[in-house]
Structure 1
Amino acid sequence: MSSPTAILQVICPDRPALVSELSGWVAANGGNIRHADHHTDAGAGLFLSRIEWALDGFGLPRQAITPAVLALAERLGGEGQVHFSDETPRVAIFVSKQDHALVDLLWRTRAGELPMLVPLVVSNHPDLRQVAEGFGVQFVHLPMTAETKAEVELQQLALLEQHGIELVVLAKYMQVLSPAWLEGFMGGGRSGATVQRQVINIHHSFLPAFKGAQPYHRAWERGVKLIGATAHYVTEDLDGGPIIEQATVHVSHRDDVDDLIRKGRDTERLALARALRLHLRRQVMVYRGRTAVFD
């Protein structure tokens, strides 16, 4: 295995010599840069940078890197964070009845394609218990109705806290997370925790087209020739969060709704797996409601 690396992400106002200043800071501390990616959003006047370097031989002890990065970002008038490649986030997968996305994620995790731990699968239906437990993952069934939604969401949040979950993946979870849930998970957490909690969803359309329910049916009615799936971060704006990855497939007049659903499942699996890998490798940066993906 290669030695662990540190990954610096900085977003700050654009000005000359930023690449030199950031890479120079790494070099001044003895860091050997493995990857460096930068982007200037001229319209927003922002500079985005992702720099990854080997920890072996770096002059700062690991526990001192984050405070140093925060001070560096503050000096540049922006925001910064640092991650380490040997960190393995704890991830919970939320599902309903469809199994294709869950099976794919658990298989890829077991195969080592996705560097994450999945201690928990949560569902509002009991159907996928055997799938989760077949991969050695705890399955928790919490049935939900309109009347019990608030109570069940509190139970979900308690479970996530209990298991130290940093990321929730909605793998065909056919429920809308309430603003209170989102605030409780992404805005809450253990005191002193510095990990930014996030939620990733897979939506079965090529957003922004066909938001909401039954997108394949509506796509078929419009006679589209291309369908897709979109993996995005979840916000209070339904299916409107920053897009991470999309996948598409061609369809024709000979395809009925069932054909679109069948073909669409392949795009859902692919888009979600790609998005998760990009997120876990810290190749995604979110700013102003959109993403920069350094792939």
Structure 2
Amino acid sequence: MAQSFTLALNCPDRPGIVHAVTGAIFAHGGNILESRQFDDRETGRFFLRIVFETQAAVSALSDAFASLASDLAMDWKVVPTGQPVKTLILVSKFDHCLGYLLYKTRMGELPMDIVAVASNHPANALTVSTIGDIPFHHLPITKDSKAEQEARIKALVEESGAELIILARYMQILSDDLAAYLSGRCINIHHSFLPSFKGAKPYHQAHARGVKMIGATAHYVTADLDEGPIIHQAAEAVTHEDSPDDLVRKGREIESRVLGRAVGWHVTHRVFPNGAKTVVFGN
């Protein structure tokens, strides 16, 4: 039986990349179902995502693409399409984003295997989410225990085999050490339309400035606070009649939706880091 695979790659741009890659797929009996590409003229890099069917073994495909990677200097991966991504979710008291991700996963709309949920608050502090049989870890933190708590997060990542870590309104600033450890595999939702209103209470900051639009930003985590490559953003109009609490309420909807969309693109291998930016083949 033919199996579907997703190939995602980027490399320095040069003539013949698509020909070489599709030729390798054809040589292994592959039939291309979907293909998206982007040539970034500013950076000189080429990005390609292909979904294809074949009866060839994963090992044979990996060997073929590894050979191409050597010639083309490719960063690449090929995975069975829809294969669940092992995911660790970190959350604080505001658990609306966690609840949204759990719902989308249980409905089969996000190919994730949620291996654990961890919080700096106990489970009974979460008011929305039904965690069920997913392992829950209470990781309290104080100013003096930050290093110890972050060491426990690292251990949890290693023990669970988590490939993706989501900060679903996890209201703690990561140390540079932990941010570097999670680099490239950690998505944060910021309750503001970055780069405006960074840091604490962005909705209150926005209200004080009389904004006419609020938003949310999903981005990859880096050591620079709230400045990682942006994956997705959305906004909603507000008026002078909206209080800070109104903005927070409306913001919850936007945050959940933006984070869900960004995570969905990541776990289906549609997001490519591109320096300080991303290339996103959204669906």
Is residue 36–residue 49 contact of structure 2 (8 Å, CA) maintained in 1? Answer: yes
CA RMSD of aligned residues (A): 1.9
Is residue 38–residue 47 contact of structure 1 (8 Å, CA) maintained in 2? Answer: yes
Is residue 4–residue 86 contact of structure 1 (8 Å, CA) maintained in 2? Answer: no
Cα offsets for 1:251-289 (capped at 9, x unmatched): 011111111111111100000110111111111111212
Q: Which residue of 2 aligns with 1:189?
A: none
| Secondary structure in 1 matching 2:269 | coil
Structure 1 residues 129 and 215: CA distance shift in structure 2, 3 A: closer
Q: Which residue of 2 aligns with 1:108?
A: 104
Amino acid across the alignment from 1:97 = K
285-294 vs 69-78, which deviates more? Answer: 69-78
Cα offsets for 1:164-209 (capped at 9, x unmatched): 21111100000011122234455xxxxxxxxxx6111100111111
Is residue 210–residue 219 contact of structure 1 (8 Å, CA) maintained in 2? Answer: yes
Q: Residue 132 of structure 1: CA displacement? A: 5.4
| Structure 2: 5+ residue stretches without partners | none
Alignment of 1:81 onto 2:77: yes
Structure 1 residues 133 and 267: CA distance shift in structure 2, 3 A: closer
RCO comparison, higher one (Cα < 8 Å, 6+): 2
Alignment of 1:168 onto 2:155: no
Cα offsets for 1:43-96 (capped at 9, x unmatched): 1122111111113x33xx212322322321221133222222142111111011
Query: TM-score under structure 2 normalisation?
Result: 0.93
Aligned length: 281
Identity of aligned residues (%): 45
Aligned pair partner of 2:238 in 246, 251, 254: 251
Amino acid across the alignment from 1:160 = V
Cα offsets for 1:2-42 (capped at 9, x unmatched): 96422222212222332222222212221100111110111
| Secondary structure in 1 matching 2:192 | coil
Structure 1 residues 84 and 269: CA distance shift in structure 2, 3 A: same
Alignment of 1:15-164 (within 5 A): 15-55=14-54, 57-58=55-56, 61-126=57-122, 127-128=124-125, 134-164=131-161
Q: For 1:261 and 1:207, locate their aligned partners in 2 and report how far apart those are by CA, in whole Å.
A: 16
Is residue 133–residue 139 contact of structure 1 (8 Å, CA) maintained in 2? Answer: no
Amino acid across the alignment from 2:13 = D
Q: For 2:259 and 2:252, locate their aligned partners in 1 and report how far apart those are by CA, in whole Å.
A: 11
Amino acid across the alignment from 2:148 = E
Query: TM-score under structure 1 normalisation?
Result: 0.89
